[in-house]
Structure formats: C-alpha cells, structure tokens
C-alpha cells in the first residue's frame, strides 16, 4: 500500500495552516518560512501524481475510499484522472509562488494570510480529487470562505464590495447544483460521481433542468458572459496572491465542473443547450476581448482577458457536441483537450501576468496603465519576462498560450467554420489589448519620476516569474506530456457524451 497521496495533498496544507496560525502574528519571518516549507512539501508530494500516472487508462487513479457518512451513503472517495491530475499539480505549484509573492508585500497579519492560502490549496485539491458528489460540494463551497477573507482583509479600497459580490454570486450559483446533486443521489442511490455518471436513463426534461442547475454553478465560476461581472471586481480588489489563485485555479473549477459533472451526467441536456453555450463562449471571446481593449487598469485588463480566454475552454468543451453530431470523434477530443490545455496554460500565464502587475504595484502602488511608461529602461529583466508573458497571453506560437487556443480552434473548425472564425478573432484582439498595454507600460520613454526610481526585480521575484516563464515555454514547445496524460480520459469523456441516456 503506497502513501495516500491525494489525502496528503489535501490535508497537509490544511493542517499546515493550523500550524502557521498557531505561530501567531509576532513571528512573521518564521511564519513565512513554515508556510513556504508546507507549500513546497505539498508540491513535492503531488509530483508522483504526474510521474506515477498511468496515461494508458481513463480509470481513476490513486483511488482512496472510506465511509464518511454511512447513514446517507456519503463516502470519502478520492481519485484523479488525466483531467484532474494536471490541475492538482497546477494548484500545488501556484501556491508556492503565491506564498513567495506575499513574502514582503504582506505585512498585516502574515500568519492569517499564509494560512488562508494553505487552506485554499487543500480545499481546491480536494475539489479536484473528490469522487463523491457531496464531498465535492463541501470542498467546492468551502473554497469560498478563505477567498472571501483573502479579498476582504488584504484587498484594495473597494474590497468589501468586491468580496461580498464574489461570495454571493458563487454561492447563488452553487446552491442549485446542490439540489441537483441531491436529486441525482436519490435517483442513483449513491453519491459516487462515477455511479451517477453511469446512470442509464434520465429523461430530457430532467437532464435539461439538471444541466441548468450545474451551469449556474460552473458558468459563474468560469466565468461565462453574462455572469462574469464579479470577476473584474474581485480581481482588481484582491491582493496579488488572491488574484493569482482566482485566475490560475478557481476559474478552472468551472471548466472542470463542466467536464466532470455536466457533460457525462447530462449528455443529452448538454447537447440540447450546446448551441447556447457556444454562443455565450463566443460572446465572451469576442465581446469581452473588446472590453479588455479599453481598460485603464492593468489588473482589470488581465481580468477581462481571463474571461475571454476562458471562453476558449467552454468553446472547446461544447463544440465537441457539434463535432460529434458530424461524426468526428477526433475533432471532439481535440476540442476538449484544447480546453484542458488552455486551462493549464491560462493558469500559468494569467498567474504570471497578475504577478507582474503585483511587482509593479509593490513599487509604485498604482495599477493604472497611465501611471507607467518606459519601465524597460529601469527594469530590463522584469520587462523581458513581462513581454514574454504578454506574448504568451496573445497566443504567440512557441508559448503555451498558442497550444490550447490552436487546438480549440482546430477542433471548432471541424465542427463549424464560423466557430473557428470568431474564436480566431481572439488572436487579434488578444494581441491588441495585451501588446498595447505592454507598449504603454514597458516601452517608450520613462513616463514619470516613479518609473525613473524603479529598481529591477530581486532574486525572489525573479525565481517566481522565471519558474512560470519556464513552464510557459515548456508547455508551448513540448505539450506532449500533458496531452498524453489526458488523452485517454478525454477520449473516454467523449465516448460518454456520445452515449444518449434517453
């Protein structure tokens, strides 16, 4: 019997958070070191999820199962497949970077800050690993508490408005999912997600209603247009670390939810509403791309760019239905795979972009584009990295941003040329808003005295951004390990959604 790895990556950070809290507020240096140690240990523990992963099987791996609430048949069952394993790795990696990013900029209540992020990490890992619907829901909702506090305590001037909006929006979305899960549990006689997925017969009305209940939860998290409005507020007001976790991981929860619950459980309902979902995704890609173009605030710009990029995830996911109806299994797989790659890649890129803004904000205390100009003159190393991330954000070949978008566009192209056409405009818009921002912030003559007084990034910041740059390039040049890892799982998923339950 090997180590219960999934339990460890869930509970080590959570108990670690308790340890960090118990150190108190008067030993910030110690707190930071311990928090870093726990985050690093969790990351190392999560590595076997990649190295020991059997990519020839779609079955759940690293499975753990124990009774939790026997009265209602709720079990503590965990497991990962090729879709969730990369997301757990993304989570454990991001948490290290976030702990490092808050090293100096957070001076107020350091132990609570670090503990909140560690709890967050454990809970997010739990949501990705949960194989029991109610366990999933507990993690899914539990996630709101640390993020609510992170934005509310360490956020910007309008943090209270932003954090309450964030909480209520996501809470509203999730509660209907709870009702749907209870109903499915009643039909199945079990809350095991695999058993619920294997439910043989489910009427179309029930499927559509369940799909809508799920959609409310996941669309808010992704976020899809028009329920995206909490995101720019939350991102702008959150501290850098909060923005990074929001963008890199929490948004992926929505995409993951669609893949894990909506599609396999309600294939016919999803099929019926896939047109709507594709339309919403394309609106997100195009319209939100335009909205990003006019932003004055860097964080807001990246937030909108996140929404636009997440549109690719949902597009790839739901274009699979069109592709399947035209008999192209491969195109469907390609689209879904592209969606997952896009999720991982967006995790790196948007996290990096927010960290870049964080670096500037720590020095100048402004997020407005107009307060900068010519940063490259005083911060050459930083400028190099930021330009790299900006290129990745606009989908330059050779970076990870290109791979996911290209796969989605390819998949969508075989489904319907127009999907691909509208999705491809993002490559133009993305380049426009990102590069224009970079031009105004990084290049040109030195804008003002603040910029003139800037010092380049220190070693700590260099490590954070350097690691992300490495992954952005690695995934861009050699995406094969990631794609291979998920191939069987995605292919199985496409089989599942092609199998009608009527």
Segment holding 386, helix H or strand E: helix 380-393
Helices (H), 238-266: 240-245, 251-257, 263-265
The piece of 135-143, 381-389, 448-456, 470-478 that touches other proteins (CB under 8 A) is 135-143
The answer to the question of residue 167 lying near other proteins (CB under 8 A) is: yes
Among 44, 59, 66, 179, interactor with other proteins by CB under 8 A = 179
* % helix, strand, coil for the chain, step of 5: 75, 5, 20
Range 334-353, binding other proteins (CB under 8 A):
none
- Give the CA angle between residues 224, 198, 144 to the nearest 5°: 35
Q: Are 404 and 332 in contact (CB under 8 A)?
A: no
Among 171, 287, 436, 443, interactor with other proteins by CB under 8 A = 171
The piece of 49-57, 171-179, 380-388, 438-446 that touches other proteins (CB under 8 A) is 171-179
Torsion of CA 233, 238, 242, 246, to 10 degrees: 0
Per rule CB under 8 A, count of chain residues that contact other proteins: 35
x/- track of binding to other proteins for residues 91-120 (CB under 8 A): ------------------x--x--------
Among 182, 279, 293, 446, interactor with other proteins by CB under 8 A = 182
Question: What's the closest the beta carbon of residue 28 comes to other proteins, in angstroms?
Answer: 15
The answer to the question of residue 66 lying near other proteins (CB under 8 A) is: no
- What is the C-alpha separation between 55 and 33, in angstroms, rounded? 36
User: Residue 224 has what DSSP assignment?
Assistant: P
Q: Are 289 and 433 in contact (CB under 8 A)?
A: yes
- Please identify, using beta-carbon distances, which residue of 148 and 321 lies nearer to other proteins: 148
- What is the C-alpha separation between 427 and 200, in angstroms, rounded? 41
The answer to the question of residue 77 lying near other proteins (CB under 8 A) is: no
The answer to the question of residue 71 lying near other proteins (CB under 8 A) is: yes
The piece of 144-152, 305-313, 359-367, 461-469 that touches other proteins (CB under 8 A) is 144-152
Among 30, 138, 283, 368, interactor with other proteins by CB under 8 A = 138
Complete DSSP assignment for 441-462:
HTSSS--SHHHHT-----HHHH
- What is the C-alpha separation between 246 and 151, in angstroms, rounded? 10
Which residues of the shown chain bind other proteins in the complex (CB under 8 A)?
A: 25, 68-72, 109, 112, 134, 137-138, 141-142, 144-145, 148-149, 152-153, 159-160, 163-164, 167-168, 171-172, 175-176, 178-179, 182-183, 185-186
């Amino acid at each position: 019997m090997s180590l219960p790895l999934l339990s460890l990556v869930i509970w080590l950070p959570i108990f670690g958070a308790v340890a960090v809290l118990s150190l108190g507020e008067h030993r910030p240096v110690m707190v930071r070191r311990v928090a870093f140690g726990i985050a690093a240990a969790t990351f190392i523990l999560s590595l076997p999820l990649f190295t020991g992963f059997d990519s020839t099987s779609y079955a759940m791996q690293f499975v753990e199962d124990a009774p939790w609430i026997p009265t209602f048949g709720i079990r503590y069952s965990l497991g990962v497949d090729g879709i969730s394993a990369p997301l757990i790795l993304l989570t454990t990696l991001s948490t290290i970077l976030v702990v490092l990013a808050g090293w100096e900029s957070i001076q107020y209540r350091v132990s609570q800050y670090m503990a909140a992020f560690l709890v967050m990490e454990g809970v997010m890992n739990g949501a990705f690993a949960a194989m029991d619907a109610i366990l999933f829901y507990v993690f899914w909702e539990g996630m709101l508490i640390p993020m609510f506090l992170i934005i509310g305590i360490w956020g910007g001037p309008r943090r209270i408005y932003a954090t309450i909006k964030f909480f209520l929006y996501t809470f509203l979305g999730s509660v209907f999912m709870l009702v749907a899960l209870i109903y499915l549990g009643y039909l199945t006689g079990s809350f095991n997600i695999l058993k619920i997925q294997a439910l043989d017969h489910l009427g179309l009305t029930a499927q559509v209603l369940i799909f809508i209940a799920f959609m409310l939860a996941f669309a808010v998290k992704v976020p899809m247009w028009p329920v995206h409005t909490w995101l720019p507020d939350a991102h702008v007001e959150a501290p850098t670390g909060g923005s990074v976790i929001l963008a890199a991981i929490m948004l992926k929860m929505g995409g993951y939810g669609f893949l894990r619950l909506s599609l396999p459980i309600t294939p016919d309902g999803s099929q019926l509403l896939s047109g709507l979902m594709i339309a919403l995704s394309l609106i997100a890609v195009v319209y939100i791309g335009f909205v990003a173009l006019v932003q004055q605030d860097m964080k807001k710009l990246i937030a909108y760019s996140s929404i636009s990029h997440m549109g690719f995830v949902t597009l790839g996911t739901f274009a699979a239905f069109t592709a399947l109806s035209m008999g192209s299994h491969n195109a469907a797989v390609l689209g879904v795979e592209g969606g997952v790659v896009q999720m991982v890649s967006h995790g790196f890129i948007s996290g990096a972009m927010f960290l870049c803004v964080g670096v500037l904000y720590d020095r100048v205390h402004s997020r407005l584009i107009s307060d900068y100009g010519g940063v490259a003159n005083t911060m050459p190393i930083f400028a190099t990295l930021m330009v790299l991330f900006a290129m990745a954000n606009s989908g330059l070949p050779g970076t990870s941003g290109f791979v996911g978008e290209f796969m989605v566009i390819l998949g969508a192209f075989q489904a319907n040329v127009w999907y691909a056409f509208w999705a491809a405009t993002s490559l133009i818009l993305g380049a426009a808003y990102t590069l224009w921002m970079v031009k105004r912030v990084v290049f040109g003559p030195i804008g003002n005295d603040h910029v003139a007084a800037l010092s380049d990034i220190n070693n700590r910041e260099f490590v954070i951004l350097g690691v992300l740059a490495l992954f952005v390039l690695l995934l861009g040049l050699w995406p094969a390990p990631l794609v291979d890892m998920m191939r069987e799982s995605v292919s199985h998923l496409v089989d599942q959604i092609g199998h009608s339950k009527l």
